[in-house]
Amino acid sequence: MTKKIFITGISGTVGTILSDALSPIFEIDGIDANIVDSNSHNMTDLDSCYKFFENADVVIDLAATADQYADWTEIYQNNFLATRNAFEASRMAGVKKFIFASSNHAVGNFELDEPYKSIVAGNYGSISNGDFDFIDSSCPIRPDGYYGISKALGESIGRYYSDVHDLSVFCLRIGTVRTDDTPQNVRQLATFLFQKDLVSLILKCIEAPSELKFGIYYGVSNNKWRFWDIENASIELGYIPQCDAEDFRNKVR
C-alpha cells in the first residue's frame, strides 16, 4: 500500500520541496495557515485541525515561525502550541511515525565557541577540516533564541510521545535550506543542506525500521567545513549525503 504522508506547514520552503519530491512516491496531504482554502487551519487550534491527521501513516511537522529572531509571543503561539498540537493530533489519529523539523538553532550558541566561531566566519587559520570535536546529538542544548528554544522543546515533547505513546519520532536538526539550493555566505558553506540530501534524509526516516523509536539527527550535507556530526544518521538511518557546499566557495559573499 502507498503510504500517506501528512505535512504541516506544507506551503513553506521545506514543505514545498518535500511535497514536490515525495508526491510521485506517496500520497501527500497537508495543511498550512497560509493556504487560503478549506485546508487553511492553524495548528494552534487542535480542535480545528486534528481531523486532518486521520489515516496518515507518517507526519512531517514543519509548521512553525522559522525566524531565529522572532519574539516570545510569536514563537509561543506558532511554535510551542503548534508543535504540541501536532504530536497530540498524531496520537489521536493513531499515526505511527512522526518526523519533527527541529533546527540547528537548538544548539546555535555553540557558535560562540571555537573552533565553530571561526569556521562560520570563514577564519580557518590553522584549523583542519574535520580535525575538531563535532557537535553531536549527545551535546547539551544551547539555543540561540526563542526559536531555538522552541525546537529544543519540540524534541523533548517528541521524546515524551515516543516513550509514553509508542510514537516513532525522528527529530531533524536541519541546517540551511534555500529555495534556490545555493549557499549565500561563508557560514552556509558549513551549514548547508542541499535539497537532494534533505529529501534523502526524509526518505531514510520514512523507511526506518519500526523498532527505531526515537532519534535526534543533524540535517546537513557532506560539507567540507560542517561541524555537526552525522554518524548516528549514517549508522541508524543509512543517511549518506552526496553534496558539498564547498563547490560554491567562489560564489559566496
pLDDT in tens, 41-71: 678 888 888 889 999 999 999 989 888 899 9
pLDDT digits (tens, 9 = 90+) for 157-174: 999 999 999 999 999 999
What does the alpha-carbon distance between residue 6 and residue 244 come to, in Å, rounded to a whole number?
30
Alpha helix positions (H), 76-184? 81-93, 116-121, 146-165
- Predicted confidence at residue 43, as pLDDT, reads 82
**Which domains can be identified in the chain, with CATH numbers?**
4-251 (3.40.50.720)
With beta carbons less than 8 A apart as the criterion, state whether 134 and 115 touch: no
Q: Helix, strand, coil shares of the chain as percentages rounded to 5?
A: 40, 15, 45
Q: What is the pLDDT of residues 109-149, one digit of tens each?
A: 999 999 999 999 999 998 998 899 999 999 999 999 999 99
- Three-state SS for 29? strand
H or E, element range at 58: strand 58-61
Angle ∠(79,83,86) on CA atoms, nearest 5? 145
CA distance linking residue 99 with residue 88, whole number of Å = 14
CA atoms within 13 A on the CB side of 212: 21
Strand-pair partners of 31: 8
Q: Is the distance from CB of 196 to CB of 243 less than 8 angstroms?
A: yes
Spatial separation of the C-alpha atoms in residues 205 and 131, rounded to whole Å:
29
- Indicate yes or no: pTM above 0.85: yes
Cell output for 101: 523539523
User: b vs e for 25-55, b when ≥16 Cβ sit within 10 Å of the residue's Cβ?
Assistant: ebebbbbbbeeeeeeebbbbebeebbebbee
The answer to whether residues 61 and 83 touch, using CB atoms and an 8 Å cutoff, is yes
Average pLDDT for residues 79-101, to the nearest whole number?
Answer: 95
Confidence of residue 2 (pLDDT cuts 50, 70, 90): low
CA angle, 74 as apex, 202 and 121 as ends, to 5°?
60
